Structure 1
Amino acid sequence: MAATILGDLSSYKAIAVDTLELINKGDITGAQKRGTDLETAWDKAEDRMKPSDPAKWRVIDKAIDRVLNALRAPQPQQATCASALNDLISAINKGGAA
């Protein structure tokens, strides 16, 4: 994946794809762990990425929030998690463009 104004997003996409694969296998627990990995990595890069384009950063940040909310629901639903992850992957592919 080419670098965007936010920088290289390939590591975040890789985690999202891994998480989606776990969801598709029905491994909610594994997907939740990868979701935490995604959250940690994204939060560590916030100070570097957000200033370069706050609007694009926010698009991806909100998509990550939707993934985390779906994964951390009291009873996570496979379809809801998969949909949120697909939306996140799409946002990453667009470099945060709305």
Structure 2
Amino acid sequence: MHCYVTVGPEWLAILAALQGDSESEAVAQELQDRYVTIYRNALAPFSSLPPRELQRRCVAIIGAAEALGRELFRGRLDEPAAATTLASLIVAWLS
């Protein structure tokens, strides 16, 4: 969540800009794929999930992180609450 706070509300504009055309969407997808790989590799030692299931859950975790980031920028929750929420989701999904 700290990354979202560090980038600031511009992050939402960056995401929107990447959805403007097929080339930009390809870049956005590549970024998401990289984040999923980072999360999957970091979480794999702590999970007994089959690799494909862990991959899917990492996609969902990133989606949840993005949604929580939007809530941060809208002032609907603070960084500690967003981080706690995301952490609880990750722990629950790896159990």
Higher-Rg structure is: 2
Q: What is the TM-score when the length of structure 2 is the normalising length? A: 0.37
Q: What is the TM-score when the length of structure 1 is the normalising length? A: 0.37
Decide which structure has greater helix share: 2
